[in-house]
């Protein structure tokens, strides 16, 4: 018998493991195992996982274009530390690193931004491609690149980054080591360009700031009428609020918006464009296309939509007067959808002009949050409208025209072709009015004005920020920040703390930009809130600043700002954070880090005592009395092993249901096409339901005789009656679900957390695992998936804190963690090694310079 070399045996076994885990239908539900043809050849196809699945090994490497030798040091957990002798070399090496560890993620991300996913996946992603072509991130990126002058440091930075990415791709291609996913899909990635980076930058902003709240809530506003709608959905939520900018405010003249250029109509009508497609000239051959259909259909579901789906993040800064160390502490944890690989790649970068530690997004050369030698910073999304919808007047007799400012205007037509795997190209026409592309959102056809397509120089802002020496320079670096609208938290070694809101804030005279606007020219944007009038706070007397997606300003702010349905969180997380800070005495570094794992529910803290008061004298069953006793002893901590959260999860829904459901029917409010404006049942989540939690709590606290507690037919109901009815319903529902024996109640019986694979392949997921928390706890757990019936799975957390950062400028301590790993390779030890650390509330130290304990080092030569 012929003996097979040991290495070849290991390669084959590794490939079989991958095939069994990823492609066998009994595990993935993908159907028949695809016949992958040449992809299965040992040494060239999926087997190449065995060669690149380990950790980094020390060695000498060549990186063309380097001006001086550079090093990349790796900790045993995969965290990377880059040291270069030239500033542009720093970004060249970061590009090289990203491509070595995240190339599939980078290619799928740029394809999503450019509307070219269908080229490699097929018809399953056509709607995503059409959406992105309409919105125009690629057009915007091409315009941005053309406008970057040679003296703008952002131009050299994105070019150096692209050079590093391409050097890595050439190295991987020449060594037959491109990631396995490319072989499975049957193509090779094209070279990376600066336009790709600028498109990815826009996509990151899109997922934070593009929303459809205006058309979504227009269903309620039309049915209810303006007065009732404003009572339910006021600008400032009814319950206690914690704005970090408290005034007094100054009213300054509006700032003109950057001018957004549109393509010339005649050129657009004549030109068929692929909008930056990257179809390879010689894709890797696979078996027949039909054999890949099950896998491609699965992949077609991901990456997820570019629509913003949540509004969650925390950041707080505490001055030295409140800390044990006597210097400021900053904590930040951006909340986004979980994925493997993560949106983040953590890196320390050191060059003559820069030194930072933070997280980058593969595709972008700069950190988005982290620390330098002078300061640390975090980000939270500002929940104010930057997506406006214009209802254009059209006429079937005048195709491709719209009526505005007293005359019929021609639409700009951009005719494009979308390449689709396995079929002919699909023609697509983008229609643009002066307000933006004409799109259908939530069943409403409108021209979409989105700040994310305005000209911006955000990369230059970040590069300038990274060199800031004090709070004044940090603030000045944000003056030209355009989009997305963000809150930048700040703490420095000098003792200063601050929070600055940045980004355009469009103003519309006489109309509410949070609802669809008339497109006839009477609701044009008149400008933006000037930077000096945006919310800010520097060294406030209370000694702390908290941002957790609450409304940043008080009700007397003199500009149009957010409303209660702009994803503004209603005081839950910010209230809990403030309570923890103000009750801590002198806050320690360990305490601030522990706060990021806190599962105390501030909504429950306020609502449960009101319920217990309402139940005094009420006739209760035996099981109901046990629930009352349970609630009396509850510390409002939604931990996995807790009993009370299993009840409260139903009760908080039932309070809104009992109050508002009769009125939904009375007003005849229609459900949106996506079926998530209104709750489908008393225990179902919905956008309106979540928004109204603050409204109903505020009424119970401050307006117990509010007319909406009574029924539309005139039947009088008191606040007490509403709370009692919600209690009885919730107690029965919880007993039916968990049993009459309260000892069998546990929150984690149905509360889980899942870290899904970017490719949508369940065998590459981590989880689901028992978990705690909810959208209102500091340690946020948010469900972003639906079940087979289209109902939201609110108790399967697929989003939450994606990176936790803590920096104490007194002790010099800093730590961070993200629930993933540095590598996208599912067979790498660095694929998900951060998940168990994150779940335990633990951290990896944020090591820098001489403190780095490197287990491997790449020595890069020009």
Mean of pLDDT values over 66-70: 97
CB atoms within 10 A of CB 654: 22
Nearest to 505 by CA among 535, 473, 469: 535
How do the domains of the chain map onto residue ranges? 602-636+643-745
CA of residue 275 relative to chain centroid, distance = 25
Give me the residue label for tokens 């908290």.
Answer: 546
Higher model confidence: residue 738 or residue 261? 738
pLDDT computed for residue 465 by the predictor: 98
Give me the residue label for tokens 């190449």.
Answer: 48
pLDDT computed for residue 636 by the predictor: 97
> What are the tens digits of pLDDT across the range 513-529?
999 999 999 999 999 99
Residue 305 annotated as catalytic: no
As a whole number of angstroms, the longest Cα–Cα distance in the chain is 91
Rounded (5°) CA angle 797-179-61:
115
Which is it for the CA torsion 670, 674, 678, 683, positive or negative? positive
Q: Are 481 and 465 a contacting pair, CB within 8 Å? A: no
Q: Are 825 and 336 a contacting pair, CB within 8 Å? A: no
Dihedral angle, C-alpha 183, 187, 189, 195, nearest 10 °: -140
Strand order in the sheet with 752-755: 766-770, 752-755, 796-797
Active-site residue (options: 114, 160, 313, 489) = 313
> What are the tens digits of pLDDT across the range 670-716?
999 988 899 888 888 788 888 899 999 999 999 999 999 999 999 99
Helices 137-147 and 126-135: angle between axes, nearest 10 degrees: 40
CB atoms within 10 A of CB 15: 22
pLDDT computed for residue 283 by the predictor: 40
Q: Which residues contribute to the annotated binding site for Ca(2+)? A: 513
Nearest to 820 by CA among 17, 78, 165: 78
Mean confidence (pLDDT) of the chain: 87
Give me the residue label for tokens 């035996």.
Answer: 622
Q: Are 772 and 746 a contacting pair, CB within 8 Å? A: no
Instruction: Name the pLDDT band for 13 (thresholds 50, 70, 90).
Output: very low
From residue 276, alpha-carbon distances to 135, 181, 419 in Å are 14, 22, 11
pLDDT computed for residue 111 by the predictor: 95
pLDDT computed for residue 243 by the predictor: 95
pLDDT computed for residue 479 by the predictor: 96
CA of residue 740 relative to chain centroid, distance = 40
As a whole-number percent, the residues of the chain with pLDDT over 90 amount to 74
Instruction: Name the pLDDT band for 473 (thresholds 50, 70, 90).
Output: very high
Q: Are 17 and 27 a contacting pair, CB within 8 Å? A: no
Rounded (5°) CA angle 7-12-13:
95
Nearest to 341 by CA among 861, 774, 4, 828: 828
pLDDT at 28 over 50: no
Token readout for 697 is 């709590």
Q: Are 451 and 503 a contacting pair, CB within 8 Å? A: yes
Domain 602-636+643-745 class in CATH: mainly alpha
> What are the tens digits of pLDDT across the range 275-302?
334 444 444 333 334 445 555 666 665 5
DSSP state of 790: S
Helices 687-702 and 213-224: angle between axes, nearest 10 degrees: 60
> What are the tens digits of pLDDT across the range 785-838?
665 555 555 688 999 999 999 999 999 999 999 999 999 998 899 999 999 999
Mean of pLDDT values over 14-31: 34
Dihedral angle, C-alpha 242, 244, 247, 251, nearest 10 °: -110
Mean of pLDDT values over 225-239: 93
> What are the tens digits of pLDDT across the range 629-638?
999 999 999 9
Return all residues near 584 (Cβ < 8 A) that are at least 6 apart: 322, 591
pLDDT computed for residue 654 by the predictor: 95
DSSP state of 834: T
CA distance 229 to 706: 15
pTM of the model: 0.92
Give me the residue label for tokens 């996982």.
Answer: 49
């Amino acid at each position: 018998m012929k003996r097979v070399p040991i290495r070849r045996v290991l390669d084959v076994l590794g490939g079989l493991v991958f095939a069994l885990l990823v492609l066998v239908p009994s595990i993935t539900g993908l159907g028949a195992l695809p016949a992958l043809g040449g992809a299965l050849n040992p040494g060239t196809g999926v087997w190449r996982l065995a060669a690149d699945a380990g950790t980094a090994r020390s060695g000498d490497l060549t990186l063309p274009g380097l001006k001086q030798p550079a090093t990349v040091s790796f900790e045993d957990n995969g965290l990377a530390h880059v040291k270069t002798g030239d500033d542009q070399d720093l970004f060249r090496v970061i590009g090289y690193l990203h491509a070595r560890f995240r190339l599939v993620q980078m290619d799928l991300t740029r394809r999503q931004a450019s509307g070219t996913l269908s080229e490699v996946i097929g018809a399953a992603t056509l709607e995503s491609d059409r959406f992105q072509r309409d919105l125009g991130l690629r057009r915007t990126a091409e315009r941005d690149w053309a406008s970057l002058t040679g003296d703008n440091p952002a131009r050299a930075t994105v070019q150096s980054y692209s050079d590093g990415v391409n050097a890595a791709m050439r190295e991987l291609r020449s060594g037959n080591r491109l990631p396995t996913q490319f072989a499975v899909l049957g193509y090779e990635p094209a070279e990376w360009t600066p336009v790709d980076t600028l498109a990815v930058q826009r996509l990151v902003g899109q997922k934070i700031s593009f929303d459809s709240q205006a058309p979504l809530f227009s269903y309620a506003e039309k049915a209810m009428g303006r007065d009732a709608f404003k009572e339910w959905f006021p600008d400032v939520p009814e319950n206690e609020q914690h704005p970090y900018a408290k005034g007094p405010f100054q009213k300054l003249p509006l700032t003109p918006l950057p001018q957004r250029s549109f393509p010339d109509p005649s050129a657009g009508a004549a030109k068929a464009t692929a909008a930056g497609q990257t179809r390879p000239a010689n894709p890797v051959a696979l078996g027949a296309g039909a054999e890949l259909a099950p896998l491609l259909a699965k992949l077609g579901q991901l990456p997820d939509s570019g629509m913003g789906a949540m509004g969650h993040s925390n950041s707080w800064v505490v001055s030295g007067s409140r800390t044990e160390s006597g210097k400021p502490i900053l904590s930040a944890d951006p909340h986004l959808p979980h994925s493997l690989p993560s949106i983040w790649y953590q890196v320390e970068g050191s060059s003559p002009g820069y030194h930072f530690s933070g997280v980058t997004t593969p595709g972008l050369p700069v950190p988005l949050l982290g620390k330098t030698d002078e300061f640390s910073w975090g980000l939270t999304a500002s929940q104010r409208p930057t997506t406006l919808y214009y209802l254009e007047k059209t006429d079937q007799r005048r195709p491709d025209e719209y009526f505005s400012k007293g005359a019929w205007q021609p639409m700009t037509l951009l005719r494009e072709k979308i390449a689709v795997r396995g079929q002919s190209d699909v023609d697509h026409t983008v229609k643009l009015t002066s307000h933006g592309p004409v799109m259908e959102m939530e069943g409403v056809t409108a021209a979409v004005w989105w700040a994310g397509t305005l000209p911006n120089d955000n990369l230059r802002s970040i590069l300038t920020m990274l060199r800031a020496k004090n709070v004044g320079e940090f603030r000045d670096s944000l003056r030209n920040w355009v989009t997305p609208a963000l809150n930048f938290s700040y703490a420095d070694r000098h003792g200063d703390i601050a929070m600055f809101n940045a980004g355009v804030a469009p103003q519309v005279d006489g109309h509410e930009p949070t609802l669809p606007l008339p497109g006839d020219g009477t609701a044009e944007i008149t400008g933006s809130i000037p930077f000096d009038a945006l919310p800010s706070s520097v060294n406030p007397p209370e000694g702390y600043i908290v941002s957790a997606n609450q409304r940043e300003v008080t009700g007397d702010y003199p500009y149009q700002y957010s409303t209660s349905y702009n994803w503004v969180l209603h005081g839950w997380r910010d209230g809990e954070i403030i309570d923890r800070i103000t009750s801590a005495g002198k806050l320690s570094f360990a305490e601030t880090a522990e706060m990021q794992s806190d599962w105390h529910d501030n909504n429950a803290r306020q609502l449960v005592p009101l319920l217990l008061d309402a139940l005094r004298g009420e006739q209760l069953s035996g099981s109901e009395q046990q629930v009352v006793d349970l609630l009396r002893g509850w510390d409002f901590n939604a931990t996995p092993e807790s009993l009370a959260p299993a009840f409260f999860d139903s009760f908080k829904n039932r309070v809104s249901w009992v109050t508002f459901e009769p009125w939904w029917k009375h007003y005849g409010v229609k459900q949106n096409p996506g079926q998530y404006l209104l709750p489908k049942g008393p225990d179902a989540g919905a956008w309106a339901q979540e928004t109204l939690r603050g409204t109903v709590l505020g009424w119970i606290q401050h307006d117990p005789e509010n007319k909406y507690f009574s029924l539309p037919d005139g039947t009088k109901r008191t606040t007490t009656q509403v709370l009692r009815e919600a209690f009885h319903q919730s107690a029965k529902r919880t007993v039916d679900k968990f049993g009459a024996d309260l000892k069998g109640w546990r929150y984690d019986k149905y509360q889980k957390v899942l870290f899904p694979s970017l490719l949508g392949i369940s065998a590459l997921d981590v989880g689901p695992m028992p978990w705690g928390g909810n959208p209102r706890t500091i340690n946020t757990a948010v469900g972003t998936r639906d079940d087979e019936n289209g109902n939201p799975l609110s108790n399967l957390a697929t989003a939450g804190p994606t990176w936790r950062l803590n920096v104490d400028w007194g002790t010099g301590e800093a730590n961070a963690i993200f629930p993933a790993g540095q590598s996208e390779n599912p067979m790498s030890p660095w694929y998900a090694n951060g998940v168990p650390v994150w779940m335990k509330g633990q951290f990896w130290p944020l090591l820098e310079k001489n403190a780095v304990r490197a287990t491997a080092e790449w020595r890069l030569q020009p």
